[in-house]
Amino acid sequence: MAGTEPLSLDEAVRLAVDSSPEMELARLRLAQADLAFDQADNIAGSIKEKDATTWDLRLAREYNPVAARNALEYAEKDLLLVERRVRLSVSGAYYEALKAESMLSAARAGRERAEKHLERARLLYEAGKVARVDVLAAETGVAAARTGVVSADKAVRMAHMALNRAIGLAPGDRRSLSSRGPDTDDSASRTSLRSTVTSDAVDIGGLVAAALPERLDVSTASVAAEQARLYLEMASGFYTANVWTVRQAAISVQSADIALKQAKSRAELEIRLSHLSLLGAAERYDMTAGTVENAAEGVRISGIRHDAGAGTAFECVAAEAVYRQAQAEHIQAGYDFSLAVARFDFIREGGQF
């Protein structure tokens, strides 16, 4: 049974977060980490300092609780990252459904134009102003337009099924979508979105600095480096410097520091590349808007020429094909831009792929 209330993007995200198996698994991992921390903390509390005379007891008293607390913090951040990924995934599915609906609307409008052109061609043929071949060309245009509608309708159905799967609804539960994308006529909204991605409006250096501590890979590498130093400090206080445990711990510290630098470098690169992709998506959206305007003008002029007997139906069909392609590219660019914004927000808030 189809839903009666329009489905907003926020509502779709909420449904997905509530029903996502990935979210449930992340919650279970957090619960396990919490239990492990409690166990490590209880064991550490049961060992008195004077009794921690062996290396294993020293680890159980001083190191294991720290490692377990770090694992708990990791599980907490992992849960947040999984939620961000779910949100991004649902945004993508939602935008795909919106895009498919926009494509279907454009295809239906193209079918209507083709049918009207066929009607004019038949009238002109009956009046002896055009040849039979013009009618045949117009009929071919109608057939192509109708095929486009069938294909677009199928794409809508598939996109909605994919969205339903992402948010935990039954495949046949068709909900109307209330949120829109940048291909609407809301020029103020488009201008606002565009202004957020200009080079002057975005401090990439500041975004990188703010995002790094929020990223799971960077924070995990940082904690691992601190934990390695703690282990080395404990080993150095318990053994002499030439003992294998101390030497191995020193190597682990160096390895952890290198891993931290690599994590920060990868994160910064990902943030900067995401911003560049966003700039590119915005530019492509703007460029395709102009292409649509030019193609629409081509359809108008070819129609006037045909009605005046100066052009052929083939020119009209060709102009219509160019227009439909330009529309499709602009619609695609619009939702690519929406998804690029969502991906950039995901990255700058600490998300990672």
Cβ–Cβ < 8 Å for 137, 313:
yes
Q: What is the mean pLDDT of each run of 10 residues along the chain (353 residues)?
A: 74 93 96 98 95 94 96 96 95 94 94 92 89 91 95 96 92 82 49 54 81 92 97 95 94 97 94 91 92 94 87 88 93 92 90 86
Cβ–Cβ < 8 Å for 303, 316:
yes
- What does residue 350 show for φ and ψ, rounded to 5 degrees? 110, 0
Q: Using CA atoms in the order 103, 109, 110, 112, what is the torsion angle rounded to 10 degrees?
A: 150
What's the pLDDT tens digit per position in 328-352? 999 999 999 999 999 999 998 888 8
Cβ–Cβ < 8 Å for 278, 197:
yes
**Topology adopted by domain 186-353:** Outer membrane efflux proteins (OEP) (1.20.1600)
What's the pLDDT tens digit per position in 68-120? 999 999 999 999 999 999 999 999 999 999 999 999 999 999 999 999 999 98
Other residues' Cβ atoms within 10 Å of the Cβ of residue 239: 15
SS3 336: helix
Cβ–Cβ < 8 Å for 324, 148:
yes
Q: Using CA atoms in the order 45, 49, 55, 59, what is the torsion angle rounded to 10 degrees?
A: 30
Handedness of CA 108, 111, 117, 122 (dihedral sign): negative
This prediction has a pTM of 0.83
- CA-nearest of 216, 181, 207 to 274 is 207
Residue type, 314: F
Per-domain residue ranges for the chain? 1-113+148-179, 186-353
SS (H, E, C) 285-321: HHHHHHHHHHHHHHHHHHHHHHHCCCCCHHHHHHHHH
CB-based burial of residue 202 (10 Å sphere; 0-12 exposed, 13-18 middle, 19+ buried)?
middle
Give how far the C-alpha of residue 272 lies from the chain's centroid of Cα atoms, to the nearest Å: 16
Handedness of CA 127, 133, 138, 140 (dihedral sign): positive
